[in-house]
Structure 1
Amino acid sequence: MQSLRNPLVTLAAGMFIVGGMHYAAPIVNLILLSFLLAMSVTPFMEWAIRKGARPGLAITVTILAVIFGGLLLSALLGVSIARMIEQLPAYQPRLVEVRNSLEAFLAGTGIDAARLFSGLKMQPERIMELASKVLSAGLGMVSLSLVIILIVVFILIEAAAHLRKLQQEGEAKGAMSRYFLFGKDVRKYLGIVSLIGLIVGVCNTILLLVLGVDFPILWGVLSFLLNFVPSFGFIISLAPPALLALLQFGWSKALIVVIGFFLINSFTDNVIKPRFMQKGLEVSFLLIVLSLVIWTWALGPMGAILGVPLTMVLSRMYREYAEAEQNRINQ
Structure 2
Amino acid sequence: MLYLASIFIIIFGLKFLSPILIYLILSIFLSFLLIPIFKFFENKGLPSIISYTLTISSFLLIFLIISILIKTSLDEFIKNYPIYESKLHNLIIQYKDSLEKINFNFQDINIIPFIQKFLGKAGSIVSGFIIVVIGVSFLLFESNIFHQKINLLSNNPKIFIEFYKSVQKYFVIKFFTSLLTGICVGIMVYSFKIDYAFLLGFLAFILNFIPVVGSIIAAIPGIFLALINYGIESAIYVSIFYVIINISISNILEPKIMGNGLNLSPAVIFFSLIFWGYIFGIVGTFFAVPLTLSLKLALQYSNKTQKWAKLLS
The reply on whether 1:159 has 2:139 as its aligned counterpart is yes
On the 8 A contact 1:40/1:190 being kept in 2, the answer is yes
Question: For 1:11, which of 7, 16, 30 is the aligned residue?
Answer: 7
1:173-219 Cα shifts (integer Å, max 9, x gaps): 22286755533312221221111111111221122222221222221
Structure 2 residue runs without a partner (length 5+): 307-313
Structure 1 residues 64, 277: closer, same or farther in 2, change over 3 A?
Answer: same
Instruction: Give the corresponding residue for 2:311.
Output: none
The reply on whether 1:269 has 2:262 as its aligned counterpart is no
The reply on whether 1:216 has 2:209 as its aligned counterpart is no
CA distance in 1, matches of 2:203, 2:14: 26
CA distance in 2, matches of 1:51, 1:324: 45
Q: Secondary structure at the match of 2:142?
A: helix
Instruction: Give the corresponding residue for 2:107.
Output: 125
Please state how far the C-alpha of 1:301 moved relative to its aligned partner: 4.0
Q: Which has the higher contact order (CA 8 A, sep 6+)?
A: 1
The reply on whether 1:65 has 2:58 as its aligned counterpart is yes
CA distance in 2, matches of 1:124, 1:36: 42
Correspondences of 1:109-258 after superposition (within 5 Å):
113-117=99-103, 122-128=104-110, 131-140=111-120, 142-166=122-146, 169=148, 173-175=151-153, 179=160, 181-258=162-239
What amino acid maps onto 2:76 in structure 1?
R
What amino acid maps onto 1:281 in structure 2?
L
Normalised by the size of structure 1, how large is the TM-score?
A: 0.78
Question: For 2:31, which of 14, 33, 38 is the aligned residue?
Answer: 38
CA distance in 2, matches of 1:152, 1:220: 24
CA distance in 2, matches of 1:325, 1:273: 30
Instruction: Give the corresponding residue for 2:309.
Output: none
1:143-181 Cα shifts (integer Å, max 9, x gaps): 5454354334333332234322146x397x222867555
Structure 1 residues 251, 34: closer, same or farther in 2, change over 3 A?
Answer: farther
Correspondences of 1:297-316 after superposition (within 5 Å):
297-316=278-297
Please state how far the C-alpha of 1:243 moved relative to its aligned partner: 0.5
Q: Secondary structure at the match of 1:280?
A: coil
Structure 1 residues 313, 170: closer, same or farther in 2, change over 3 A?
Answer: closer
Normalised by the size of structure 2, how large is the TM-score?
A: 0.81
